[in-house]
Amino acid sequence: MTALNRPDFPKDPTKANLNSNAPVEWIGTISPLRSDLEGNQALVLALQAIQQARADHGIRANSELARSHLKHALSLAPYDAELWLALAVLEAGQDPDGPAAIESLKMSYLTAPSDARLMPLRLATVTQFDALTSPDLRDLAQGDVRLMLTRQPDQTPALVSAYRQASGRGKEFLKGAIRTIDPARLRTLSG
């Protein structure tokens, strides 16, 4: 994979297939106005850092490089929800209750509120790291649950996965949201 190709955003970043190991520093020099290239490279670096962090059960030095690239790419393209979500996952791994993780998650929701590709990881992140202390994020996450249940029935396994990975507060949130939207689906959480 080169920096010129944006990877498909995975539902689970630990399963992303990323072959490139070296950051391509020349992108910004050769084409300073191509924010898409910067964004592609930042996303590749972020997904690699997330994979490594999950494999090693901790955030590594690569996450600093990835965060730096993500922040630069977002300064050029603040409308890119994938980049905001990747930054949120990295920030949550560093400081789960920190404002950087919460604000990045909010931006991911606000820039692509109904992007079905982002819903599984967004919901898993918001419920796993107790970002639900933010009333705004609770409302936004409730919207994801609503869309996943009513318009994306193929996303039910993602809801179950988010529930299994969720914190205590996250599990209560998911139960309450599902009970409000479609009480019959509560059984799927236990199975």
Instruction: Locate 154 and state its tokens.
Output: 């193929």
What is the reported pTM?
0.82
Which position has the token pair 């964004």?
A: 39
Report, at the CATH architecture level, how domain 1-112 is classified.
Answer: Alpha Horseshoe (1.25)
| Confidence at residue 32, expressed as pLDDT on a 0 to 100 scale | 56
| Confidence at residue 52, expressed as pLDDT on a 0 to 100 scale | 82
Query: Would you say 59 and 90 are in contact if contact means Cβ atoms under 8 Å apart?
Result: yes
| Confidence at residue 68, expressed as pLDDT on a 0 to 100 scale | 93
| Confidence at residue 26, expressed as pLDDT on a 0 to 100 scale | 46
Burial class (CB in 10 A: 0-12, 13-18, 19+), 139: exposed
Residues in the chain, overall count? 191
State pLDDT tens for residues 97-126. 889 999 999 999 999 999 999 999 999 999
| Confidence at residue 119, expressed as pLDDT on a 0 to 100 scale | 96
Residues with pLDDT less than 70, the chain:
1-35, 56-61, 191
CB < 8 Å & 24+ apart, contacts of 172-178: 173/127, 173/132, 173/138, 173/141, 174/127, 174/145, 177/141, 177/142, 177/145, 177/146, 178/145, 178/149
Dihedral angle at the C-alpha atoms of 37, 43, 44, 46, nearest 10 degrees? 140
